[in-house]
Amino acid sequence: MPELPDLEAYRHALAPRLVGQPIERVTLLHPFLLRTATPPIDAVVGKRVVGVRRLGKRIVLALEAELFLVVHLMIAGRFQWLASNAKPAGRITLATFDFPGGRLVLTEAGTKRRASLHVVHGERDLAALDPGGVEPLDCDLATFERLLTRENHTLKRALTDPRTFAGIGNAYSDEILHRAKLSPLAQTSKLAADEIAQLYTATREVLIEWTARLSDEADRDWPVKVTAFRPDMAVHGRFGKPCPVCGAPVQRIVYAENECNYCARCQTGGRILADRALSRLLKASFPRTLDD
């Protein structure tokens, strides 16, 4: 799922192409995509884009007459920018938005249709789509600590909860926790003050670094390869590969459709965290430490 740095890259790419331009035509190829009926989608035709925002993990096109197009890409949704006469890809195209300078295409790979489009009127209705998480780069240490510890959860869950922090998902939470040298399963209620400060600093560093890097790339060209798996990441998507800090093999915990990647030597004192499926299967043979 595109997260804060990826969505900021899209915002950087969209703004110079769309702001000041009217929407000439909207074509929906999959009716399930549109999740609102009022205002109708036709209401945006002819309206100029006055801004491009990010609302948590959503991209928002602000239009004239206080209209907003709100897109949640979910896991497999992506944006493409094509020439006006270019034909979009077949099965994966969900919608197209035609502008004088080109065509914005919303795609979604795979068979599960999860991406969504809302048309809302006014800031109040737009705010209703916000899960409420604070922007992690806009809060101070005291606010970060208060939000992190208001309920007792694992660090992995706390960082990725959209009601707590906006824009952090599976990929960048792995990178943040590795940078902070903290276990993804550590309980928020048991963190020491210095560990919370460590996590706060790591959160800011990782998000600022990746946002700057991806936004710079988007300023030069359209972000084609928006992915949660990047070769320069420290641990996310790097199971079995050496940790760039200590060289130990990166470990993982698989759950549902996600996996959590971490370095046992850097983050858990060499202890291998139990994978619910694999540890139950192997039982006594499941390794407990890196030495095992």
pTM of the predicted model over 0.85: yes
Residue 291 has what pLDDT? 56
Residue 114 has what pLDDT? 92
Contact 178, 241 (CB under 8 A): no
Domains of the chain: 4-127 (3.20.190.10), 141-285 (1.10.8.50)
Residue 225 has what pLDDT? 87
State how far the alpha carbon of 107 is from the alpha carbons of 93, 131, 198, 219, 276, in Å.
4, 24, 38, 21, 34
Residue 284 has what pLDDT? 41
Residue 278 has what pLDDT? 43
Per-residue pLDDT reduced to its tens digit, 26-49: 999 998 999 999 999 999 999 999
| Residues 6+ positions from 229 with CB-CB distance below 8 Å | 171, 236, 237
Where residue 55 falls (left for φ over 0; alpha for ψ -120 to 50; beta otherwise) is beta
Round to whole Å and give the CA distance between 245 and 238.
Answer: 13
Residue 31 has what pLDDT? 83
Cis geometry, peptide bond prior to residue 39 (ω within 30 degrees of 0): yes
Name the DSSP class of 175. H
Residue 288 has what pLDDT? 56
Residue 282 has what pLDDT? 35
Q: What is the helix (H) or strand (E) element at residue 118, kind and residue range?
A: strand 116-121
Q: What is the mean pLDDT of each run of 10 residues along the chain (292 residues)?
A: 95 97 96 95 98 97 98 96 91 96 95 93 97 97 97 96 96 98 96 98 98 94 91 96 97 84 96 65 44 54
